[in-house]
A = this chain, B = another copy of it.
Amino acid sequence: MLSRVRSAVAHLVSSGGVPPPNPKPPDLPNTTSVPPALPETPKSLPARAGTGTGTGTGTGSGAPAKTVDTRASFSRPTFLQLSPGGLRRAEDQAGRAVQSPPDTGRRLPWSTGYAEVINAGKSRHNEDQACCEVVYVEGRRSASGTPKESSQGQGLCFYYWGLFDGHAGGGAADMASRLLHRHIREQLKDLVEILQDPCPPPLCLSSSPGASNPSHLVGPQSCWSSQKEVTHESLVVGAIENAFQLMDEQMARERRGHQVEGGCCALVVLYLLGKLYVANAGDSRAIVVRNGEIIPMSREFTPETERQRLQLLGFLKPELLGSEFTHLEFPRRVQPKELGQKMLYRDQNMTGWAYKKIEVEDLRFPLVCGEGKKARVMATIGVTRGLGDHNLKVCSSTLPIKPFLSCFPEVQVYDLTQYEHCPDDVLVLGTDGLWDVTSDHEVAATVDKVLSAYEPNDSSRYTAVAQALVLGARGTPRDRGWRLPNNKLGSGDDISVFVIPLGGPGSYS
């Protein structure tokens, strides 16, 4: 599909009507390109070893590391504790091993289950990446160099899970998996005191240097009577949103020096002060399965779901469309011979369709086209939010696509204290490799089936669920392919899954 769309654009753009030679396309999400016949050569060493961002408690010092070398060739999360042989198996497209942290080693925080299969065949270095950390946040140091002390004199801890689905190169996913939680920590530093204070957050902070007690907080009473109430929760949401933006800006700055190729979808979860914050930018998905009930915790951001946002931007800033694209959507490509006829269309204001007389400008390629997994922005990319992609251009053109992509996540909050959870209640995070071939209900059924086969206090039960989900989406080798029980082909994409228990013995270790 992608190559067809691409050559259509190229054909349109080329003035002579002769299709230009097909350049090697970068590998982008949701393509259906055929994997190369030969598995890639495995690398001998995981590039992540020794970077200090491994499993367990995060380091609490320093700004988001600007010096981390992200020039990794093939790497897997350190928490998988892969031996060189395990790393080779992970990369082996023919074997498609499902990988999980070892039973015998250090467990993931919070009894988290994890499993992945990295096909490494769809493209070179295009893998999902993952991160699972406990991060300590110290309060911001004052101008005098001494840390500000809260009334409790304590910093904050948050649990953190992140899935990063890379495209067009592995650099962005790799960098995000190492650094995004540090950006979040940095954003939370200003809030350490405020979040632990039961009073409503101050609307305005004095900047007097050396202030060391809460009197520097300008409370609501000193201000106008008309003011909005701001919750602690919305400060955490704002911190996550800004952290995503700063991560994206860092990728833009360092893309040359550190080979931050491509982009990635990011789905991350924070546990902080009793609440789970689920932040999604892209087409990964999170659901809570509670007592068999499914509670969606994210929405997917694709050319279809964000059509009107994209079209509005194209309408307001037509220079972003060049002379190749139109902001109008048509249900199929308009053909030159149809000039003057009436065709269905919709613009940035419409959810319905109407007929319009076809004019010359309508022959341009639509900014948004296709549907489902084949939907594309500028005939190129199938997700509309995420990190990176600063170099992404329309094929055979210099038009940048980044202005249409948003790095901002949508954050949904789940208050763990509002419900009595049992050991079988879980939050499942998965990249699109899982959800493309598995429905929410199938995931809930697998959760139920696998967990009921384990004792509630068996710490390996959540990893067993993750493995079952990845195996089910990958399929089993049959009839020249990895087949699902219904004989359909399994996901040809990377698949990575976190299963996070919401209650029960040993969950919050």
Tell me the A residues contacting B by CB distance below 8 Å. 1, 187, 190, 201, 203-207, 218, 223-224, 226-230, 233-242, 245, 312-313, 316-317, 330-333, 338, 340-344, 346, 349-355, 357-358, 370-371, 374, 406, 408, 410-411
Out of B218, B228, B411, name the residue touching A371 (CB < 8 Å). Answer: B228
List B contacts of A236 (CB < 8 A): 352
Q: How far is the CB of A116 from chain B (nearest CB, A)?
A: 30
Neighbouring B residues of A351 by C-beta, 8 Å? 234, 237, 241, 410-411
Contacts of A370 in B (CB 8 A): 226
Q: Is the CB–CB distance between A203 and B343 below 8 Å?
A: yes
* Inter-subunit contact B239/A352 (CB<8 Å): yes
- By a CB distance below 8 angstroms, the chain B residues around A223 are 332
In the complex formed, the residue of B with least CB distance to A201 is: B344
Given A316-B316, A349-B245, A353-B230, do A331 and B374 touch, yes or no (CB 8 Å)? no
Contact between B234 and A341, CB atoms less than 8 A apart = no
Given A224-B332, A313-B316, A351-B410, 8 new contacts (CB under 8 A): A226-B333, A235-B344, A237-B351, A238-B346, A241-B349, A349-B406, A349-B408, A350-B408
A205 and B349 contact, CB distance less than 8 A? no
B contact residues around A229 at 8 Å (CB): 331
A204–B331 alpha-carbon span in the complex (Å): 10
Assess A238 versus B353: contact at CB under 8 Å? Given A223-B332, A374-B226.
Answer: yes
Query: A242 CA to B351 CA in the complex, in Å?
Result: 11
Complex CA–CA separation, A241 to B351 (angstroms): 8
CA distance A406 to B351 in the complex (A): 14
Interface pair B352/A411, CB less than 8 Å apart: yes
CA distance A205 to B341 in the complex (A): 6
Contacts of A245 in B (CB 8 A): 349
Q: Which residues of B contact A204 (CB under 8 A)?
A: 338, 341-344, 358
Closest partner residue, chain B, to A412 (CB atom) = B351
Give the Cβ gap from A12 to chain B, nearest Cβ, in Å: 14
Give complex CA distance A1, B239 in Å.
Answer: 32
Give the nearest-CB partner of A406 in chain B.
B349
Query: A121 CB to closest chain B CB, in angstroms?
Result: 26
Complex CA gap A264/B374 in Å reads: 41
Interface pair A235/B354, CB less than 8 Å apart: yes
CA distance A189 to B455 in the complex (A): 66
A234 and B331 alpha carbons, distance in the complex (Å): 12
The 6 closest A-B pairs by CB, nearest first: A237-B352, A238-B352, A227-B332, A238-B354, A228-B331, A205-B342
